[in-house]
Amino acid sequence: MLKKIIYFVVVIAIVVGAVISYKQLDFGNKTAIFFKIAFGDQAQMMQMGPKGGPFPGGSTQGEFKPPQGFEGRKRGEFGPGRGEFGKNGGPGFQGPPGGKGMRGKPGMGKTISFAKVIPYFFILAFFILATRVIDLTVRRVKK
Amino acid sequence: MKKVTFKFILNIFLFITFLFLMDEWSFLGITFHEIAGLVICLFYILHKALNWKFIKETTLRMFGKCTARGRINYILDLLILIGFTLIIISGMGIAKTMDFSWLGFTKENFIIWRFMHTSISMITLMFVGIHVGLHWNWVVARFKKSGADQEGASC
């Protein structure tokens, strides 16, 4: 009985973990990209943003949309620029926190962590579990 | 060391390393990701060499007398092989700590290589999960240190 409860808890944990990981990793969209590259328009892929979706209008490409509160104004007409905030005008942009030496280094700002493997582990465990369930079902049906 | 024990240890090593390679910042950073990515390729070839009997038998019987399970295993293995090959090729195209420009990789197609690398890694992860699921009895038998090595008896 205890063994059955443990199995049940493990299965639930894997399924819930896999669903959360699926959303966290954007698994569906990332797997679909390969098929878009292989069978779709490569030029369209070149315009994709870093997270897989095309840049929204107003940020980099397409129709320009002014930010909230500035509707009706043209590009560049948004009042005072950086460095004019606060009583004394403010210091403006001081550069990245790590100093000039950190600029342009690969992976700047990213941290190395074992925790990053966990979502992949759940996805993998889910596929192992799903295959096992299908395999056992097929074997039972055959018998 | 018995061949079957060696195979089991190698498979666990491949499994864990592949999992760590899924995120470039998951273990020791990008340098580890790129070096280990190339090293795992050699171990993958070794994994194939150790299961050569299965590959040879199934290839010969693929279009003749072969069980559905054997066929599925074979096709899946082939897809994983293609997946790993594409991961390595696209990885060379986006490598940051190693220079593969001498192989003709340019920064012009960086985005395409990048998307391919991520996407194929995910697809291959899925295939590896199915592969392990289909060989689960063998994995359990190895942990219990019982049962014969039946890897080659699938077809």
The predicted-structure confidence for A4-48, as pLDDT tens digits, reads as follows 999 999 999 999 999 999 998 888 888 888 777 777 666 565 555
What's the residue count for chain A?
Answer: 143
Query: What per-residue confidence (pLDDT) applies to B154?
Result: 54
Q: For residue A93, what pLDDT is reported?
A: 58
How do residues B44-81 score in pLDDT, each as one tens digit? 888 888 888 878 888 888 777 778 888 888 899 899 99
pLDDT at position B142 over 50: yes
The HSE-up count of residue A46 (CA atoms within 13 Å, CB side) is: 7
Using alpha carbons only, give the angle B47, B72, B43 rounded to the nearest 5 degrees. Answer: 10
| pLDDT tops 60 at residue A135 | yes
Contact A31 B126 (CB under 8 A): yes
Residues A45, B118: C-beta atoms closer than 8 Å: no
Q: Give the pLDDT score at A132.
A: 93
As a whole number of angstroms, the distance between CA A29 and CA A130 comes to 21
The secondary element (H helix, E strand) that includes residue B5 is: helix B3-21
Tens of pLDDT along B113-129?
888 899 999 999 999 99
Structure confidence at residue A92 (pLDDT): 57
How far are the Cα atoms of B83, B92, B95, B111, B123 from residue B38, in angstroms, in the given order?
A: 14, 9, 11, 21, 19
DSSP string, chain A: -HHHHHHHHHHHHHHHHHHHHHHHHTHHHHHHHHHHHHHS-HHHHHTB-TTSSBPPTTTSSSS--PPTT-TTPPTT-SSS-TT--STT--------TT-GGGTT-TTTT----GGGGHHHHHHHHHHHHHHHHHHHHHHHHH-
Q: Per-residue confidence at A53, pLDDT binned at 50, 70, 90?
A: very low
Cβ contacts from A onto B, under 8 A: 102
Best-predicted range by mean pLDDT (A34-38, A98-102, A103-107, B36-40): B36-40
Q: Does B20 touch chain A (CB under 8 A)?
A: yes
pTM of the predicted protein model: 0.72
Residue scoring higher pLDDT (A106 or B33): B33
> Residue ranges of the domains in chain B?
3-144
Provide ipTM, 2 decimals.
Answer: 0.84
Chain mean pLDDT for chain A: 72
Q: pLDDT confidence of A58, banded at 50, 70, 90?
A: very low
Between A45 and B104, the higher pLDDT residue: B104
Q: Looking at residue A46, what is its pLDDT?
A: 57
Which tens digits make up the pLDDT trace of A73-97?
666 555 555 545 555 555 555 555 5
Give the mutation candidate from A14, A31, A55 for the B interface (greatest B CB count, under 10 A).
A31
Q: What is the model's pLDDT at position A114? A: 75
CB atoms within 10 A of CB B34: 20
Q: What is the mean pLDDT of residues A122-126?
A: 94
Interface touch B119/A32, C-beta < 8 Å: yes
